[in-house]
Chains A and B, each alone.
Chain A
Amino acid sequence: MDFTYTEEQKMIKDAARGFLEKACPNVEWYLDMDKDEKGFTPELWKGMAELGWMGIMFPEKYGGIGGSFLDLVVLLEEMGYAAVPGPFFSTVLLGGLAVLEAGTDAQKNDLLPKIAEGKCLLTLALTEAASTVYDPFFIETTAKAAGDNYIINGVKLFVPDANVSDVIIAAVRTSGTTGDKDGISLFLVDSKTPGVKTTLLKTTAGDKLCEVIFDAVTVSKDKILGSLNGAGAVITRVLQYAAVGKCAEMLGGSQKVMEITVAYAKERVQFGKAIGVYQAVQHHCANQKMAIEGSTYITYKAAWMLCNGLPATRIVASAKAWGSEAYKKVAAIGHQIFGGTGYIVEHPMPIYSRRAKAAEYAYGNANYHRQLVATELGL
């Protein structure tokens, strides 16, 4: 066993910390990004591309730097720490990894180098309105064959960053019935194709979740990603990466919250003493620490298992079940210790607590993932 980072990972971490501190300068900037239609700046995106982040996990022949999923997780942890906005997660984890997992050579050659350069943004259009309880396989959107093309019809919801994406990977039903895992296919849809309509939803985190309507969208059959009707396994795999990636972001966010909270507990004086002297406050901080210790090891273990191709269904679900609740709890404690000041919109706390809420529901909340664990237990 080894609970340390590699030298390269330490370098990734330091570089990310330094870059993001400058790139995300202050709370006003975050609030601007919340309001901004795109939610990020061209400079930020360019800087990240120059550091090679988008291609961190792609093989060198596709313009990447040939790192592992663990390296990506290290980076995502820093992104969560900085609460960086923008389409990195959707482009790299939902888009890039789907292409890497399932793409043909031609598709990989076409897309991965562009993604690595920051010149192509992707996302995955998966969940739908009828999924009032999160279920990524509850897919009613259809693609019907028409000669060499397919015609896509349907509505997708909570599609991250679709408003800025060049390519939207649409998960559609090509056979079977709505709830089936089989019969789903993925299509690489150019977002400018006639009939694709994207509407930004207003969210608590100010992140850019969208409704995407596919209204008789024509796509040629060489845009199928992976096998016809066989996308279930690809989606499962991508969602495992996404869940663990989200855990890494949540872990980073929790650490930042704990850091500023503990610093404040040492500095804020009431009743003649730093509030960190009071046991009620100490216990809160200790609870933050305990939650985060758990998140750290379960996130890295899940990433390690995915990285090494070990069966990871249960650990991934455990990680997201734990992490979703842990981040929420850590953020709530942060608010409690900051008192009134943390409730003011210009304070960093709301940036984190609002993102904790979004992250809790991304790729299934704790209830959803506990159900997966229960299934793994044979229940």
Chain B
Amino acid sequence: MAWDFGILKEEEAYRQKVADFLDKELTEEIARQSWEDLGLDVEGRAFAKKLYAAGLMGWSWPVEYGGKGLPPIYDFILIDELGKRWGAHVPNDVAYTMVGHTILRRGSAEMKKEFIPQIIQGEIEFGLGYTEPEAGSDLANMKMTAVEDGDYFVINGQKTFNTESHYSEYHWLAAKTDTKVSAYKGISLFIVDQRAPGITIRPMITMSGERTNEIFYDEVKVPKNRLVGEKNKGFYYMMEALGSERNYVFVPSRYLPYLNMIVDYAKNTTFKGIPLAENPMVRDKIAQIAVEIDMSTLLADHARWMEWNHLPMTCEPEITKVFVSEMEQRMVDSAMQILDQFCQLKEGSKWAPLNGRMEWEFLHSFMTTIGAGTSEVGRTVIAQRGLGLPRG
């Protein structure tokens, strides 16, 4: 059967179950801890376990680690339902939607047994340790080194922008294990106990008040069994995971709460006695936000569908990433025009519309086209990997 945009009865039943649970249990506070990357703290971490206890986590994961062995669509449904309610991520996002998949693909049997059940149960989270001061878009330019010494690797160097690390149990770390070969062939991945001796974590606060971190490694000893897969294959594993990670991280449903907010605002706010909803400019701007959310939902659905059908993805998740991140900026700009002067009022200010959410989103939106890979590099990927244009 071709061209079918429906979901199965069982999938819909799961969606309903998740929706019912979240409507009851997901408080604004928890949702915002995740959305604003403030760090999940006690309630957020407890919520991950609650989701598991309610039987809603792990449906797409292998049975032997406590999952149900079903296709990835169940995890996508979970993420979408969270997104619709400001819960931008699964509470232990990096573990559940990124790192866990690489452990499943590349980790040893022992590693899988140790980590996967804890991930499904919402017990552990990871900080993503890729970026360094000299290695942003050019990740292969990283300088951190991991040197073999008996039963350990000894790691030295600095990471920057490692966002979840201040509350995570583990650091998912990329470091150079061979400095003599081309960088792509000399990087390995490690799981490091985030509180290990020799690690210093310093906060970096963003313009929207989120916290990310710089992390310093000084002679940190990591047991050899915490090397992920094979030595010197790390860069390859990172690239292999990228498409799938985009599918889980760039979630169009997340914009629906904003759309709903601005629709309500337009209906309930008048100017000279006439609802804003009747103003042609307002209607046009809101409609365009909706058109783009609809469109991005389909881009995402398509790329996800490729993933769960094991079709080779070249640039499809990248298209979603670039489009969604830029859409977020256009959405804020349009919504702010509708709020007019009031748009600049922050949460907690007298007269702040929509509880200051759009103002916060404005500040936040500057990172969307940078974090997890910039739009410029993304377009190069689409042109070269997707269209076969020559490399410069």
Contact = CB atoms under 8 A, between A and B. Distances in A.
B340 A339 contact: no
A364 to B, nearest CB: 9
A244 interface: no
Contacts of A127: 341
Contacts of B350: 199, 201, 211
A280 interface: yes
Interface string A125-153: 00101111111001000000000000000
A294 to B, nearest CB: 19
A310 to B, nearest CB: 29
A202 B346 contact: yes
Q: How large is the interface on A (under 10, 10 to 19, 20 to 34, 35 or more residues)?
A: 35 or more
Given A204-B359, A345-B205, A134 B366 contact: no
B361 to A, nearest CB: 11
A1 interface: no
A129 to B, nearest CB: 7
A202 B345 contact: yes
Contacts of A209: 344
Given A203-B346, A345-B207, A365-B337, A339 B351 contact: no
Interface string B337-363: 100111111111111100000010011
Contact of B341 (A134, A179, A199, A347): A134
A158 interface: yes
A64 interface: no
B351 A201 contact: yes
A336 B375 contact: yes
A242 to B, nearest CB: 14
Contacts of B376: 278, 280-281, 336
B206 interface: yes
B183 to A, nearest CB: 11
Contacts of A129: 351
Given A270-B137, A339-B137, A280 B340 contact: no
Interface stretch (B7-15, B191-199, B217-225, B270-278): B270-278
A123 B362 CA distance: 28
B60 interface: no
B314 interface: no
Greatest chain A CB density within 10 A among B337, B344, B376, B379 is at B344
Given A158-B341, A345-B207, A353 B366 contact: yes
Contacts of B333: 328
B290 to A, nearest CB: 20
Contacts of A3: none
B297 interface: no
B281 interface: yes
A205 interface: yes
A132 B338 CA distance: 9
A335 B348 CA distance: 27
Nearest to A130: B271
Contacts of B272: 138, 179
Given A131-B271, A339-B370, A343-B367, A202 B349 contact: yes
Query: Chain A's interface: helix, strand, loop or mixed, by majority?
Result: mixed
B47 to A, nearest CB: 27
A344 B209 CA distance: 9
Contacts of A281: 376
Contacts of A99: none
A358 interface: yes
Interface string A342-379: 11111101100110011001000101000000000000
B141 interface: yes
B206 A270 contact: no
Contacts of A358: 344
A203 B344 contact: yes
A347 B270 CA distance: 39
Contacts of B371: 340
A127 B276 CA distance: 18
Interface in B251-290: 269-272, 276, 279, 281
Contact of A132 (B136, B161, B206, B269): B269
Given A132-B271, A204-B359, A343-B366, A367 B204 contact: no
A209 B350 CA distance: 11
Contacts of B281: 367
Contacts of A339: 136-137, 370, 374
Contacts of A204: 344-346, 359, 362-363
7 contacts: A132-B342, A270-B138, A280-B380, A332-B329, A340-B131, A350-B207, A365-B337
Given A133-B276, A336-B376, A339-B370, 4 more contacts: A132-B342, A332-B366, A340-B371, A345-B205
